Amino acid sequence: MVFTAGQIADILEGEVEGNSEITVHKLAKIEEGDKGSLTFLANPKYTSHIYTTKASVIIVNKDFSPNQDLETTLIKVNNAYESFSKLLEYYNQAKNMKSGIENPVFMAENVTYGENIFLGAFSYIGENVSIGENVTIYPNAYIGDNVTIDDNVTIHTGAKIYSETVVGKNCVIQSGAIVGSDGFGFVPDKKGIYNKIPQIGNVILEDDVDVGAGTTIDRATMGSTILRKGVKLDNQIQIAHNVEIGEHTVIAAQTGIAGSTKIGKRCMIGGQVGIVGHITIGDNVRIQAQSGIGRNIKDGEILQGSPALNYGDYNKSYVHFKNLPKIVNNINKLEKKSISGDKN
């Protein structure tokens, strides 16, 4: 795709300084820019590159004033970083914009769908599925019976959306994600043999939820597993049955959350965190990577370690832990002096 500097400025509500008709067809880092590329300058650390880059167009903050001659066209905006991010989103949407139904596709007769949808080849759409407008479902995706998908949703190749799942507006489900699989529910009998408990609930993804590649979200035993508005999940995360995650919480890769745990709003959870079941985590909680959470957490706590401690206490303890060999050595010397003194 080719854009002029003027077109880009219109999208970003910015001002062109230079040639508004110059064209770009690719994006680049400022230090790697060449002819035909678009880049941005937001961090002063990279200012020197603006005088050497070969990029055709550069997005800069309105207060940027060069102290040398430039051989490039500038687009001045209120916030260069946010504007470039907006442009990336626009570019990605334009690049991936598809419509129509490829062949072969299986779609049950009672499926309903809105305008401007795309169904990729070998996708499967089950009974009583409802699909909104501007929905993109890439090849080899599976949509089970009675699933509801709202407007502007993207479901990538190989994702599986099991029956009864509800997907809100503007959600993105990446390749290999599984939404609505059975929860891990088994009960032992008198002989110690584990028998499966039927999982008859569903999964609800509210608006603006992102689900990373290879992530699994289990359906509820009864009721719903719920991801509230704006939740963002990284790749390879396990969300167990009946978990509820509050609005705008973000969770990094390889985290596992056991059944029936409730997580609050605007939490940040690092990678490889393990969270036990049937606990409540408050709002605005920060959990550092590789922590183990086995208790209820109050609003605003910052935690690290396994089992997790208050972040400040963990750091203080870690100082002593690193010095433990030295401390033990000093204690041994004191004990030897004490024993030697007793003999004398």
For residues 23 and 137, state if they share a domain: no
For residues 19 and 109, state if they share a domain: no
For residues 233 and 108, state if they share a domain: yes
Containing structural domain, residue 204: 100-314
Q: What's the rounded Cα separation, in Å, for the pair 188 and 205?
A: 32
Q: Backbone phi, then psi, for 185, in 5-degree steps?
A: -120, 110
- Residue 343 placed within a domain: no
For residues 129 and 209, state if they share a domain: yes
Q: What's the rounded Cα separation, in Å, for the pair 283 and 305?
A: 20
For residues 32 and 179, state if they share a domain: no
- Residue 292 placed within a domain: yes
Identify the CATH number of the domain in which residue 175 sits: 2.160.10.10
Sheet holding 256-257, edge to edge: 106-107, 124-125, 142-143, 160-161, 178-181, 216-218, 238-239, 256-257, 274-275, 292-293
Cβ atoms of 135 and 118 within 8 Å: the answer is yes
The reported pLDDT for the residue numbered 257 is 98
- Residue 289 placed within a domain: yes
Domain boundary among 43, 74, 96: 96
Q: In 10 A of CB 33, how many CB atoms? A: 25
Q: In 10 A of CB 182, how many CB atoms? A: 16
The reported pLDDT for the residue numbered 343 is 53
Which residue in 110, 120, 176 sits closest to 145, CA to CA? 110
- Residue 41 placed within a domain: yes
For residues 20 and 72, state if they share a domain: yes
Identify the CATH number of the domain in which residue 91 sits: 3.40.1390.10
Q: What's the rounded Cα separation, in Å, for the pair 293 and 311?
A: 13
The reported pLDDT for the residue numbered 341 is 65
- Residue 328 placed within a domain: no
The reported pLDDT for the residue numbered 104 is 96
Alpha-carbon torsion angle 3, 4, 8, 9, nearest 10: -170
Domain boundary among 96, 111, 133: 96
241 is catalytic: yes
How do 3-4 and 23-24 pair as beta strands? antiparallel
- Residue 332 placed within a domain: no
For residues 76 and 148, state if they share a domain: no
How do 308-310 and 302-305 pair as beta strands? antiparallel
CA distances from 206 to 145, 230, 246 (A): 19, 8, 10
Q: Kindly name the residue from 25, 241, 278, 320 that is annotated as catalytic.
A: 241
The pair of structure tokens assigned to 263 is 């997580």
- Residue 335 placed within a domain: no
For residues 74 and 113, state if they share a domain: no
Cβ atoms of 60 and 39 within 8 Å: the answer is no
Q: Backbone phi, then psi, for 239, in 5-degree steps?
A: -110, 115
The reported pLDDT for the residue numbered 342 is 57
- Residue 327 placed within a domain: no
Q: What's the rounded Cα separation, in Å, for the pair 98 and 120?
A: 9
Q: What's the rounded Cα separation, in Å, for the pair 270 and 266?
A: 13
Q: What's the rounded Cα separation, in Å, for the pair 199 and 222?
A: 7
Q: Backbone phi, then psi, for 190, in 5-degree steps?
A: -65, -25
Total count of domains within the chain: 2
For residues 183 and 273, state if they share a domain: yes
Q: Is the dihedral of CA 188, 193, 198, 201 positive or negative?
A: positive
Length of the chain: 344
For residues 123 and 232, state if they share a domain: yes
For residues 300 and 233, state if they share a domain: yes
Q: What's the rounded Cα separation, in Å, for the pair 245 and 297?
A: 14
From first to last of the 344 residues of the chain, give the pLDDT tens digit: 789 999 999 999 999 999 999 999 998 999 999 999 999 999 989 999 999 999 999 999 999 999 888 889 999 999 999 998 888 887 777 776 788 999 999 999 999 999 999 999 999 999 999 999 999 999 999 999 999 999 999 999 999 999 999 999 999 999 999 999 999 999 999 999 999 999 999 999 999 999 999 999 999 999 999 999 999 999 999 999 999 999 999 999 999 999 999 999 999 999 999 999 999 999 999 999 999 999 999 999 999 988 777 878 878 877 777 788 888 888 888 888 877 765 54
Residue 223, amino acid: G
Domain boundary among 61, 80, 96: 96
Q: 129 CB contacts (<8 Å, ≥6 apart)?
A: 108, 111, 112, 143, 144, 145, 146, 147, 148, 149
Residue written as token pair 């049955």:
241
Q: How many CA atoms lie within 13 A of 147 on its CB side?
A: 25
- Helices and strands of the chain, counted as H and E runs: 4, 40
The reported pLDDT for the residue numbered 106 is 96
For residues 65 and 123, state if they share a domain: no
